[in-house]
Chains A and B, each alone.
Chain A
C-alpha cells in the first residue's frame, strides 16, 4: 500500500496574521487517486492546495513527494518536481500571447544564443493546446482577446505542459461551460488511468460524486474526515461540511412561472459585433429570467450591454419605470435608476482587492448614505457593511479587513452583498453563486426568492443548468449569438430538453 503513496503532507500549519487557515492538516494521496477536497468557504482548501502547488509556504509541516522530501520554492519549481496547479482566481498574465502564458517562467529552455526560438515555442504551445482538446485556441493569440473560459483553458494547458504527477484543480469547473469542463474531466480520467493523482476542489457535490474516488473534508482549517468511495454520498458530505443537517433542496419549491405583464427592462434589436446580433429581451416585474448557453454564445456580453458597460452597435436598452422611459446609455444611468450588475470576472471587475470589505460593500450605496453637506458617517457605513456581513455570513475578522485576504467564495459574497445593500430593482447577475459553498448558496437562493416576491426583477446568467432550472421563471437559451429557444418554468422541464438547443 505504502508504495502507492505519491504525496504525503503531515502536520501542515499556516497562519495569516491573526487567521489560522490550517491547523495540523495531514493528507496522504496515493497513485490513481482523484481526491476531492471540500469544505465551507474559508475552510482552507485553497491555502492547502497552494502550499502543495508551491505558491506559498507552510509555517510548519513535512511533505514527501514520491518518497522524497518536497519543499517547492515557487509554482514553477513545484511544476518541475511534478505538481501543477490551476488556481481559483484568474492566473494569466495580460497583454502577452497565449504561448508566453503557457511557458511563463520556463522560457529559457527555448533560448539559443540568447535568442528565443519563437517558432518552436508556438509549435510546442499549439501541441499542448491540441493535446488537451482545445485546438481552436492558438499560440499567437493575445490572452486578452480570449473569453473567460478560454483563458482558463490556457491555464490548464500550462499545468499539463510538464506532464504532472499530481494535478491540482482549485474551484475552476463551476465557472466554466460544457467545453471547459469536458476538457478538465478528460484530463482527470487520463491522469487516473496513467496512475497519477488529482486534487480536485469544488462546491458542486454531485460533480464531486461523479469525478472523485476519495474525499477529504476540511472545516475551519482542520481535517474532519476522509471518505472512501463506498462511504461517499451527497448527504454525508453536506453534513460533514457544514456540521449540521440541511434540507438539501435549496431551489425554488414552486413551479409557477407566471408573473405580471409589466415590462421593466427592454432591449430591442441589440447587436455587438462578433458576439451577438439582433437580440430582443423583455424582463418583467418580479421575474427571474435565466440566460443559458455554451461558451461563446454571447450571453455574458448581452448582460454587459443591458447594464450599459459595453455599447451595442445597433439597438437600444430601455429601463421602464412607472411613467418614464430611461435609455441605458452607461453604467451611471443604470445604477442611478436602481439597476445592479454582478460581473463574472470577479477580481478584475467586481471588487477592489486592495480595499476593505466595508468600502467594497458601501460603494454603490454612497449616494444613499450621504446626508446633509454630503456627510457620510463612519457609523452608517459600518452598519450597512456589518448587516451584509452577517446576512451572507462572510468569513472575516471584521469589515475593515482587506478583500484580497478573503477566500474565493467569501470574495464572491462581498460582490453579491454590495448590491443587496443598495436596494436595486433590476439585478443582472452573471454567475452569482460561483465558488459559493452549499450553505450560503441556499441563503442566496432564498434571498433571490424574497427579492422576487418584493417585485424585483432578476436576470441570472449561469453556466449551471440545474441552477437555471431550479430558479428561473423563464429561460432563454442562446447559441452563436442568437436566441435559440425560450422555455417557461415547468416541472417537466429537464436538462435534456435544454441541452438540445444549446449545441
Chain B
C-alpha cells in the first residue's frame, strides 16, 4: 500500500536524486565563476592583442587610478541600486564637486581640508536632491537624477567653457599618494561591506528593493532608509571626486562625465540584479566595476575610437540585460 517509501527510496530514484545533485552543484559553480572568468579573460585578451601595451607601468598606474575611483563609487551605488533606485546623477555631481573644489582653492585660497569637506558636501547635496525630488514628488529616481545631472553638468560646462581650471600639481601631490589612497579605499570597502551585509541599514535596502510593501509592513521607515542610502552614496562619490580632482589637477567641461554609465554597466555586468533586492552584493558591483574599467581601457589602448567605445559599451549593456533580466514578473504564473 505505502508506495511512497518504495518510490522515493527505490534504487532508481536515489540514483536520479544523486544525478540532480551533481547537476545543480555544477551549475552553481559555473554561475559563480563566470563573472571572474570574464574579468580575467578581458585582462588576458587585451594584453595579447595590444602586445603588452595594457600592462606597461604608465598604463597600469592610470588603470589603477580609474579602478580606484569607480570602486569607491560602486560601493556607494550598491546601497542605492539595492533598494531599486536607478541613479544616473553620479558624473554630474562628481564634476560639480571638482569644479567647486578647484574654484575654492584657486580663487579663495581655502585650506585644503575645508575644500575636501566642501566637495563631499556638494555630492551629498546632489544625491539628497535626487532623493528628495523622487520621494517628495513621486517621480522615478532615474528622471530625478537625470535632472540633477543636467543641472550640475550645465554649471560645470558654463564655468569651463572658455578655459580649463588648472591647479598646481606639485602642491597637492601628497594626496595622490598611493598608500593613502589604498588605505582609504580599503576603509570604504570594509565599512560599506559591513553596513551592507551585517547591519539593518543594508538589509533594509535589500528588503525595500525586494518588495516595498512588505518592507513597509515590517515596520521599516522606507523613506528615511532610502534617504540614508543616498547620503552614503553621495559621500562615496564625494571621496572619489576629491581624488579625481587631485589626480590631474584639471577641471574641464568633461570632468566626471561618463561615470554614471560605467556604473550602470558595472552593476549588471557583475551580476547585481537591476531591480535590487536580496541578491544584491557589493563584491558583484566591484567586480563589475573593475571589469568595465579594464574593458574601456583595453579598447582605447587597442586603438578603438573613443566614441566607438561608448557605443560598444551601450551594446554590451543591452546584451547583458537581455541575457540576465528576470522576465518572470511579466508571466501569468509565477
Q: Is B206 an interface residue (CB 8 A)?
A: yes
Q: In this complex, which of B210, B214, B273 has the most chain A Cβ atoms within 10 angstroms of its Cβ? A: B214
Contact B279 A341 (CB under 8 A): no
Stretch at the interface among B17-25, B131-139, B162-170, B289-297: B17-25
Contact B219 A334 (CB under 8 A): yes
**Minimal Cβ-Cβ distance residue in B for A75:** B332
Name 14 interchain pairs, CB-CB below 8 A, sorted by A. A18-B21, A23-B7, A56-B333, A224-B2, A224-B4, A225-B1, A332-B219, A336-B219, A349-B211, A349-B217, A354-B273, A367-B200, A374-B195, A374-B199
Complex: A404 Cα to B329 Cα, angstroms: 11
Complex: A91 Cα to B332 Cα, angstroms: 6
Task: Kindly list chain A residues whose C-beta atoms are within 8 Å of the C-beta of B200.
Answer: 366-367, 370, 374, 376
Contact B213 A348 (CB under 8 A): yes
Q: Is A375 an interface residue (CB 8 A)?
A: yes
**17 more CB-based (< 8 A) A-B contacts, given A243-B4, A363-B207, A370-B200:** A15-B20, A17-B20, A18-B17, A50-B333, A75-B333, A89-B333, A220-B4, A222-B7, A222-B8, A331-B218, A332-B219, A343-B213, A352-B215, A352-B278, A359-B207, A374-B199, A376-B199
Q: Is B323 an interface residue (CB 8 A)?
A: no
Q: What interface size band does chain B fall in?
A: 35 or more
Q: Is B220 an interface residue (CB 8 A)?
A: yes
Count CB-based A-B contacts (< 8 Å). 128
Q: Lowest 6 CB-CB distances: which A-B pairs, in order?
A: A335-B219, A352-B210, A355-B278, A55-B333, A374-B199, A364-B218
Contact A377 B334 (CB under 8 A): no
A residues adjacent to B (C-beta < 8 A): 15, 17-18, 20, 23-24, 50, 55-56, 75, 87, 89, 91, 93, 104-105, 219-222, 224-225, 243, 307, 309, 331-332, 334-336, 341, 343, 347-356, 359-360, 363-364, 366-367, 370, 374-377, 402, 404, 418
Q: Can you list, as one digit per residue, whether each of B191-211 has a CB less than 8 Å from chain A (1) or not (0)?
A: 000010011110110110011
**Minimal Cβ-Cβ distance residue in B for A404:** B334
Task: Kindly list chain A residues whose C-beta atoms are within 8 Å of the C-beta of B218.
Answer: 331, 335, 363-364, 418
Task: Kindly list chain B residues whose C-beta atoms are within 8 Å of the C-beta of A243.
Answer: 4
Contact B204 A87 (CB under 8 A): no
**Minimal Cβ-Cβ distance residue in B for A356:** B278
Q: In this complex, which of A50, A341, A355 has the most chain B Cβ atoms within 10 angstroms of its Cβ? A: A355
Complex: A355 Cα to B204 Cα, angstroms: 12
Residues of chain B in range 280-334 having any CB-CB distance to chain A below 8 Å: 326, 332-334
**Minimal Cβ-Cβ distance residue in A for B276:** A354
Q: Is B108 an interface residue (CB 8 A)?
A: no
Contact B207 A20 (CB under 8 A): no
